[in-house]
Structure 1
Amino acid sequence: MSEVKKIATRESYGNALVELGKKHDNVVVLDADLAESTKTATFAKVFPDRHIDCGIAEGHMMSLAAGFAATGKVVFASSFAMFAAGRAFEQIRNSIGYPHLNVKIGASHAGISVGEDGATHQCCEDLALMRVIPGMTVICPADDIETKAAVEAAYEIDGPVYIRTGRLAVPVINDRPDYKFEVGKGIVLREGTDVTLVATGLMVAAALEAADKLAEDGISAEVINIHTIKPLDEELIVSSAKKTGKVVTIEEHSVIGGLGSAVCDALSEKAPTKTLKIGVNDVFGFSGPANELLHEFGLDGEGVYAKVKSWL
């Protein structure tokens, strides 16, 4: 059996920007002294006149992005998630969100899979921060194909968008002819009857692996890929919850304020369901190899399987 292709979604983001730049001359890309890491350097090599390195000044970058957007440009402003969502929150809220400007925030190096950079850079709070900004679309793609589709979709959206990408190479799971990306619409990757696994980002691959292990135990798990955290596909989640009667959310983010909270909000209102939230449990990360950290936090396929099996 051939090995599954893997690519970091930050790489996909950089490649997608180049293709977008070829189609639309109003695309401008900004970065905050991290172009080699966020992969916007790929865009800079092809379109040097449409790329600006703003230096280590994320607040300034977001304000500049707002200015460009006010003149009709579609701006992709990129940095690490910790600095984009965290350090520049006020500028995003007031200068981009409040006037509902066409700024797309490319936030890379999210979650504990940042690895050796440690707790200061392992942003597990960004989805929560971005969800609460009125009018902000929040996207967390699962793989290379989904990231490229998300960048294309973000261009078409009227208003601000937050796109979360990662440092770690992840399996390409959406390489199939029937794949369709639609903002606000989840994707059922596997039908099931006993439990619903709702995952986002790199946790989608882990959910599929866990579902395989659960199947060996005679447990039928439905797997849903929620690439759009906001707006959430409540209809799909509620429908699946009513079918299986149990829901598990899986994210490389704090269990507070992210996918799990969004799903619980929807279910508590429309279909109260027994729910387990798998993620980072209100703790900071620490330095270490990415895959070892995911295992330590129970966020690999094996860890997700063990938590779901124990809960069931």
Structure 2
Amino acid sequence: MSEIKKIATRESYGNALVEVGKEHEDLIVLDADLAGATKTGIFKKAFPERHWDVGIAEANMTGIAAGLATCGKVPFISSFAMFAAGRNFEQVRNSIGYPHLNVKIGATHAGISVGEDGATHQCLEDIALMRTIPGMVVINPADDVEARAAVHAAYDHAGPVYLRFGRLPVPVFNDEATYKFEIGKGIVLKEGKDVTIFATGLCVNETVEAEKMLAKDGIDAEIINIHTIKPIDRELVVKSALKTGKVVTVEEHSVIGGLGSAVCDVLCEEAPTKVLKIGVNDVFGESGPALELLHKYELDAEGIYKKVKAFVK
């Protein structure tokens, strides 16, 4: 049996920027002294004249990007999620969101899988922050194929987009030949009748593995990949919830304001359903190896399996 290929979605981001850059000369990439880590350095090597490093000045980077967007360019700005969404919130809100400018935010190193960098760099609040900005699209891809497709879709979309990428290499499970990405549309990975599990980001593959364990216990779970958290696929969320009667959400993010909250917003309006939110439970992260942290916070397949089984039973 061949080994499963693993690629960090931040690497996918850098590679996709080059792919899009070859097709569109109006794409400009700005980074804040982290091109090696965010992987925009891949784009810099291919198109040095279209990559600008502004130094450790995220707010200034955002203002520059806003200006470029008013001149017909399509800027992608990049930093760690903690800085791109956290430190930068006011500038993203007022300089990009309020005028609804065509700026894309490539935020890497999101979630606790940042690992040893610890709580100060493990952004667990970025989805919640970006969801609140009117007109902002929020995308959290699950693997290399989806991440690269998301970058292409973000370029094609007219308006601000927040793209969330990870540091940890994750399994590539989508087939590039057949995969289709559409902003705002969830993907049913497996149909089921006992419970619906909506997952996003690196938790999608962990949920797929957890489903195999649930199946051995006679639990037939429906697995849905929600790569776009805003706008969320309301129709699919309601349809699946009505079908199974129980819903679980799984995300490498705080349970407050992220995918779980987005799903609950839909269901409380259209199809009241019992929901279990699996994520980080109103605490900060901590320093440690990424895989050990995912296990401790029960965001790996084993943790998801145990929580879903208890919820269904």
- Structure-2 separation of matches of 1:166 and 1:204: 13
- RMSD of aligned C-alpha atoms? 0.6
1:75 counterpart residue number: 75
| Alpha-carbon distance in structure 1 between the residues aligned to 2:301 and 2:265 | 26
Residue 275 of structure 2: aligned partner:
275
- Counterparts of 1:176 and 1:272 in 2: how far apart (Å)? 36
Q: Provide, for residues 239-276 of structure 1, a one-character-per-residue CA deviation record: whole Å limited to 9, x for no partner.
A: 01111110000000000000000000000100000100
Q: CA deviation at 1:118?
A: 0.1
Q: Structure 1 residue 288: deviation in Å?
A: 0.1
Please list every run of 5 or more consecutive structure 2 residues that lacks an aligned counterpart in the other structure: none
1:34 to 2:34 alignment: yes
Q: Is 1:5 the equivalent of 2:5?
A: yes
Query: Shift of residue 300 of structure 1?
Result: 0.2
State the SS of the aligned residue for 1:287: coil
Which residue does 2:291 correspond to in 1?
291
Query: How far 1:176 sits from its partner (Å)?
Result: 5.3
Counterpart of 2:143, as a letter, is: D
| Cross-structure match for 2:144 | 144
Deviations 1:88-120 (A, max 9, x none): 111100000011101000000000000000000
Partners of 2:202 and 2:125 lie apart in 1 by: 16
- The residue aligned with 1:62 is 62
1:261 aligns with: 261
TM-score by length of structure 2 reads 0.99
Aligned to 2:218: 218
Which residue number in structure 1 is paired with residue 22 of structure 2? 22
SS at match of 2:251: strand
In the alignment, does 2:306 pair up with 1:306?
yes
SS in 1 for 2:229: strand
SS of 1:124's equivalent in the other structure is coil
Question: 1:177: how far off?
Answer: 3.6
Does the residue aligned with 1:52 lie in a helix, a strand or coil? Answer: strand
For 1:300, give the aligned amino acid.
D
Kept in 1: contact 2:145–2:176 (CA 8 A): no
Identity %: 73
Paired residue secondary structure (1:3): coil
* Structure 1: runs of 5+ lacking an equivalent: none
- Is the 2:137–2:161 Cα contact (8 Å) retained in structure 1? yes
**Equivalent residue, structure 1, for 2:101:** 101
Please show how residues 76-225 of structure 1 align to structure 2 within 5 Å.
76-175=76-175, 177-225=177-225
CA distance, structure 2, for counterparts of residue 220 and residue 71 of structure 1: 52
- Distance in 1 (alpha carbons) for counterparts of 2:177 and 2:11: 22
| Per-residue deviation, 1:178 | 2.9
